[in-house]
Amino acid sequence: IKNLLHIENYSEDRVTILLDKIKNEMKWQVPIIVDQKTGLVLDGQHRLEVAKILKLKVIPAILVNYDDIQTWTLRKEEKVSPMLVRKRIKKGDIYPYKTVKHKFNFKIPNELDMQLKDLESEINDRN
């Protein structure tokens, strides 16, 4: 968790809703999507914040090569590409909420059913 970086801001309200859902179910359903070279979170900004609040050590993730991912934005005032995102984040300047869009060439699983207790320790993840 500590090596993962947001590329855009997120909604505090959405984090609260997701936190309540995950705490009530006591399980993690959807992995985040992460650039394997940089730790940039391409999909899962809210889930990353929930993991931080829950003080989880690990969370399910799909690692990708960002250069292979199609990017775009609906905001005319913003420019995005894997290279531009990396440069901006390196400067500590994350994008506004809902700016960077990605198209993945795979379906993101949404029914992992991983128990929270299994995500609380790095030791559990490595076994």
Comparing CA positions, the residue from 106, 112, 125, 88 lying closest to residue 6 is 88
Task: Look at residue 118 in the predicted model and tell me its pLDDT.
Answer: 87
**pTM assigned to the model:** 0.90
**Tens digit of each residue's pLDDT, the chain (127 residues):** 989 999 999 999 999 999 999 999 999 999 999 999 999 999 999 999 999 999 998 999 999 999 999 999 999 999 999 999 999 999 999 999 999 999 999 999 999 989 998 888 654 444 3
Q: Identify the sign of the CA torsion 103, 107, 113, 119.
A: negative
- Number of Cβ atoms within 10 Å of the Cβ of 101: 15
What is the model's pLDDT at position 17? 98
- What's the one-letter identity of residue 6? H
Model pLDDT, residue 125? 42
Question: What does DSSP assign to residue 7?
Answer: S
